[in-house]
C-alpha cells in the first residue's frame, strides 16, 4: 500500500474516533474523561493532517500549501483507492 | 376515567409506562482503538451490534 494511502487511512481512523467522541459528548457534556480523550484525538488529527498536507498533495482544496505544479487532479478519486 | 388509569405500568415493567419508547442512557466503559472503531462502525463496544444472517 502506498505511503500516502497508509497515512490517509490513519487520518480517517482518527477522524472517525473524533466524530464518535463528539457525538457522545453532545449527550454527556460533563464526562471529563471522554472530553480529554476527544481533545487528545483532535490534537493528533490536526497533527496528522498538517503532516499529510506538507508531505503529499493537500487533502482539501482550501489548503494554502499547494506546491507548483498544481497536484490536485493527479490524485486518485476516493473511489479509485483500493483500501 | 381517572388519570392514574393511563399511567398504570404493565406487569413486569417496573415503573415503565406502556406505549412509550425507551433509550437507556449510555455509560462510557471503554473504547475500541481508532482502527477497530472504523472497521466496526462505532468507537464504543457497548454500541457494537453487528447484524447476523439468520440460519434457515
Minimal Cα–Cα distance from A50 to chain B, Å?
19
ipTM: 0.83
Instruction: Calculate Rg over the CA atoms of chain A.
Output: 15
A1-45 pLDDT, tens digit per residue, is 788 899 999 999 999 999 999 999 999 999 999 999 999 999 999
In tens, the pLDDT along B11-49 reads 556 778 889 998 889 999 999 999 999 999 999 999 999
Between A8-22, A56-70, B3-17, the lowest mean confidence (pLDDT) is in: B3-17
CA distance A42 to A11: 11
pTM: predicted TM-score of the whole model, two decimal places: 0.79
Which value, to the nearest 10 degrees, does the dihedral of the CA atoms of residues B47, A21, B43, B54 take?
A: 30
What span, in angstroms and rounded, lies between the C-alpha atoms of B56 and B42? Answer: 29
Give the whole-angstrom CA distance, residue A30 versus residue B19.
31
- Residue A65's pLDDT is what? 86
For chain A, the straight-line distance linking the first and the last C-alpha, in angstroms and rounded, comes to 8
CB contact under 8 A, A13 and B38: yes
Residue of A nearest to B45 (CA): A20
Q: Specify the DSSP element, H or E, that contains A25.
A: helix A3-27
User: Rounded CA gap, A44 and B55, in Å?
Assistant: 43
Q: Does B43 touch chain A (CB under 8 A)?
A: yes
How far B10 CA lies from chain A's nearest CA (Å)? 29
Residues of chain A with C-beta less than 8 angstroms from the C-beta of B23: none
Contact B28 A28 (CB under 8 A): yes
Report the C-alpha gap between B44 and B34 in whole angstroms: 10
Amino acid at each position: 500500500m502506498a505511503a500516502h494511502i497508509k497515512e490517509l487511512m490513519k487520518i480517517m481512523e482518527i477522524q472517525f474516533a473524533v466524530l464518535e467522541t463528539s457525538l457522545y459528548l453532545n449527550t454527556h457534556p460533563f464526562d471529563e474523561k471522554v472530553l480529554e480523550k476527544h481533545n487528545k484525538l483532535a490534537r493528533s488529527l490536526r497533527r496528522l493532517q498538517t503532516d499529510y498536507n506538507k508531505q503529499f498533495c493537500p487533502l482539501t482544496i482550501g489548503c494554502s500549501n499547494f506546491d507548483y505544479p498544481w497536484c490536485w487532479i493527479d490524485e486518485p478519486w476516493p473511489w479509485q483507492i483500493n483500501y | 376515567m381517572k388519570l392514574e388509569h393511563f399511567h398504570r405500568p404493565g406487569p413486569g415493567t417496573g415503573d415503565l409506562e406502556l406505549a412509550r419508547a425507551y433509550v437507556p442512557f449510555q455509560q462510557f466503559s471503554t473504547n475500541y482503538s481508532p482502527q477497530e472503531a472504523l472497521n466496526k462502525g462505532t468507537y464504543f463496544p457497548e454500541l457494537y451490534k453487528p447484524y447476523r444472517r439468520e440460519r434457515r
